[in-house]
Amino acid sequence: MRIEEDCVGKMEVPDKALYGIHALRAVGNFPITEELVHHKIIESYIQIKKAAAKTNCTANTLDVRKCNSIIQACDNLLKSGDLSGFITPAIQGGAGTSTNMNTNEVIANLAMKLDPNTFIHPNDDVNQSQSTNDTYPTAGKMAMLKLVPNLLSELERLVATFTNLGQKFAKTIKLGRTQLQDAVPTTYGKNFHAYASLFKRDINRIKHASEELKTISMGGTAIGTGMNASKYYQQHIVENINKYSKMNLKSDQDLIDAVQNTDHFVTFSAALKTLAVNLSKVSNDLRLLASGPQSGLNELRLPKRQAGSSIMPNKINPVIPEVVNQVAFEVIGFDATVTAASEAGQLELNAFEPIMFKSILTAEEHLTNAMETLIDNCLKDIDVNKEKCSDDVRKSAVTATILSPILGYVQTTQIIQESLKKKVSVKDILLNHNILDKTKIDELFAPKNLING
């Protein structure tokens, strides 16, 4: 064991550990969850430290040899993907300071292993010109942006899947329903196309919200004034982060605002919540339309994925829409957490970014996975019970709505009431009472006219 000391006191640290006293204190202080800081935050933090070392070196505030050791340590970490030295819990007090210090410690200790003759200080060298208050939110934004491509890829697949289903079932007529009561007919093609349109809006919302995350506070240091950072560093740190991360970030024009306010996270979280709401609504529809099969709507046939009961043989449940619903409930809760955490910020800093980052990054991943299983394990092999749908339309009295422009609302209502009371079709009533001739009736009740096609 080695002894390390900070402003609180001394502590034993395992000899071979790359982390140090600050990370170890975090583990003891925050036994909230076994979940560690997201690996994309750590990856982004390493890229930030690499860029900072390069920028400080060019500004002549960091020794060249120290700079090279830090950069090599960062490259080794990024190449190996070995993040075993990063031990801070995802939920932590201190506004992310534990994660920043853990990163400084790991890089400094690894750099000294690479060049034992050069002492690297976690604060003075690795953290030079920086503060947790500008690096942590920057790493968080970078991590969120790195998860967006996979999220959008699944969203685009979802849109394509519903578009294809819309084409496949373009002429499959069905009853519409409003407030769970029979309404005028439509087609499954139109329904599936509407779902595609819904999720296209989600794509646009997430893209728009993502743009806000590209504005970062690097160079603002503690509260946005840039204390302890050179002018050269402030002017060039973002371009070096972009160079090493291959991202298109830009510096905020008001660093005071950028350090203390977190509305960008609220906007992005809200876009994820909206996607969750839409996924849940569609999943509700799928479960309802597939209900039965004997005593429910039985319009859709969802793929059989697993046995649904330990007691009822051959019972099959809509497990894929169900799991999507649950992810949606979770993400809606995450958004409430992000909203409360952002509102709770005080004066020059928000201390609650750790829970915001955990919530948003988990939401991105879970939504991505939920859409993947919805497409591959449900929508891809979904089928429509065409016979049931057609029979429902044929039997439905509400199809008489087509008569309102000809006979008026009152007489049409009377025809519908008689149809329901006598349990005969609207067509038969029209013929029996000689209200319209058969040719006109057949023309009016043709599927094309019933769906206003």
User: What kind and span of H or E run contains 286?
Assistant: helix 263-289
Tell me how far apart the alpha carbons of residues 78 and 27 are, in angstroms, rounded to a whole number. 23
Question: Which pLDDT value is given to residue 374?
Answer: 98
309 counts as catalytic: yes
Tell me how far apart the alpha carbons of residues 450 and 453 are, in angstroms, rounded to a whole number. 8
| C-beta atoms surrounding 223 within 10 Å | 17
Taking alpha carbons only, the member of 227, 47, 57 closest to residue 145 is 47
408: left (phi over 0), alpha (psi -120 to 50) or beta: left
Asked if the domains 135-220+253-387 and 396-450 are classified in one and the same CATH topology, the answer is no
Listed in sequence order, the DSSP H helices in 295-377 are 319-343, 353-377
pLDDT tens, position by position, 244-300: 999 999 999 999 999 999 999 999 999 999 999 999 999 999 999 999 999 999 999
The superfamily in CATH containing domain 135-220+253-387 is Fumarase/aspartase (Central domain) (1.20.200.10)
Question: Which pLDDT value is given to residue 310?
Answer: 85
pLDDT tens, position by position, 160-195: 999 999 999 999 999 999 999 999 999 999 999 999
Find out whether 144 and 360 touch, Cβ atoms under 8 Å. yes
Tell me how far apart the alpha carbons of residues 239 and 247 are, in angstroms, rounded to a whole number. 9
Confidence of residue 308 (pLDDT cuts 50, 70, 90): confident
Fold adopted by 2-128: Fumarase C; Chain B, domain 1 (1.10.275)
Find out whether 191 and 107 touch, Cβ atoms under 8 Å. no
Domain boundaries, given as residue ranges, for the chain: 2-128, 135-220+253-387, 396-450
Tell me how far apart the alpha carbons of residues 347 and 20 are, in angstroms, rounded to a whole number. 31
Which CATH entry fits the domain spanning 396-450: 1.10.40, 1.10.3470, 3.30.420, 1.10.1760?
1.10.40
Find out whether 249 and 177 touch, Cβ atoms under 8 Å. no
Q: From the candidates 84, 153, 197, 309, which is the catalytic residue?
A: 309
Residues 6 or more apart whose Cβ sits within 8 Å of residue 234: 219, 226
